[in-house]
Homo-oligomer: A and B are copies of this chain.
Amino acid sequence: MARRSAVNVWCLGSRAVSLLYGSSLRPLHTSVCNASSKPKAGFRPEKVAVVTKTTRYEFEQQRYRYAGLSEEDLKQLLAMKGSSYSGLLERHNIHTNNVEHIVKSLRKEGIDVRVVKRGEYSEEVVRWANAIISAGGDGTMLLVASKVLSKDKPVVGVNTDPERSEGHLCLPVRYTCAFPEALDKLCRGEFRWLWRQRIRLHLEGTGINPTPVDLHEQQLSLEQHSQAHRITTMESQRRTGTLQESFIKPSLLPIRSLNEIFIGESLSSRVKLKSFNPHVNLLLHRASYYEISVDDGPWEKQKSSGLSICTGTGSKAWSYNINKLAEQAVEEVLKIGKSQAGLDIPLNREFIEKVTDKYNESLVFSPDDSRLFYSVREPIVNRVFSSSRQRGFASKVCVRSRCWDACMVVDGGTSFEFNDGAIATISTSEEDQLRTVVLEN
């Protein structure tokens, strides 16, 4: 029974919010075709790695198995929360069947296939493969892309649960069940290459070795403890004379962003104040405080809910959702404008929809565009902080953190510490492109 419970929309492969955001109802694929290039010959990889997502069913099983619950207990637990065990199992089976279909199709063509679970995917797999297929949703695509640093290794996304996943970065959904057709077109050169521009990150001035900090471990310890950890590191660096060095030299991080970099304060717990109810933790949501310089322009202090810097690919994801307007807001602006201008023009539903659509479409740009697009989320304007442009294009964006406990989040999935004093330089380079495939629908 195909139960369309909204709960079953959970699709672990696309959990990265940068993907859940922003796939509008209007097809945006068409704008992409102009920017890609026709291959000189067919594409016939000998070795293909298929990277598969973890379904929610698998995830729930794993976590409750750890707690020692039986399958029957799992069913009841989910039922109590309003989730459906059979629904989850169904989505899981759909995904698994689609993966089998892909693998069979590949092997039938004599291609050497390695099926790799999300958790087993590594640089070694990337080196081994001539091409990589992401079998899941957009989240799986982001994961797959994150380990491909070369612009020559093709990555293809197949949406293994089209009913639940947007599959924005994947092939058109019809190829999910008709994969031999996709293979055939690849073979005959009836496709286009699309080199999606990605973002690179330089980090400096943190005062500590700019290795991405294990945020999980940081959350494991008290705020003071982690501070003490940092100080100990600094103390030892000072003694060995390496402190100044790590302070000065900008480090290129071994990571490329396909969608966006988001900078903001994390939710972090503070020292518990003893007079509070011990069960109620003082959890402060702070504004993000930083300085920003666009294209080597003057530094500007800003306070906001965070800063997003995206690629053309990412302009349809989280960035889109930060900037898009609802019809309700557009209608209000037009009403006020009409009133202020003393005009007597009708504002019918169709007109408002049209203006809203055009506004939102203007936020999207081509995946192979080498520019960055920065947006300030919920800027704070008061006596101290001003804001010139809330968003715009750039070749380079520098951000200096003035945050307590901030992080730089790459593609909604990987996080780097970005605290007071750290400087990030965000830019693009041609060698950072990701080679992907565009098939006609």
Contacts and interface: CB of A to CB of B under 8 A. Distances in A.
B283 A415 contact: yes
B390 A80 contact: no
A249 to B, nearest CB: 15
Interface stretch (A15-23, A33-41, A102-110): A15-23
A275 B390 contact: no
Interface residues of A, number: 122
Most buried by B among A272, A354, A420: A420
Contact of A81 (B25, B279, B420): B420
Most buried by B among A66, A166, A283, A286: A283
A38 B272 CA distance: 40
A207 interface: yes
B378 A322 contact: yes
A355 B333 CA distance: 7
Contact of A16 (B228, B284, B381, B416): B284
Nearest to A19: B287
Contact of A279 (B164, B214, B266, B389): B214
A280 to B, nearest CB: 5
B382 A24 contact: yes
A64 B280 contact: no
A234 B384 CA distance: 50
B341 A215 contact: no
A239 interface: no
Contact of A287 (B21, B217, B262, B384): B21
A307 interface: no
Contact of A219 (B21, B269, B341): B269
A342 to B, nearest CB: 10
Nearest to A213: B279
A282 interface: yes
A216 interface: yes
A217 B269 CA distance: 9
A30 interface: no
Contacts of A212: 277, 279-281
Most buried by B among A23, A223, A277, A322: A277
B321 A336 contact: no
Nearest to A266: B267
A220 B220 contact: yes
A340 B354 contact: yes
A413 B303 CA distance: 19
Contacts of A402: 6-7, 82
A29 to B, nearest CB: 15
Interface string A307-326: 00000000000000111011
7 contacts: A6-B289, A67-B227, A121-B275, A166-B382, A211-B279, A334-B337, A336-B358
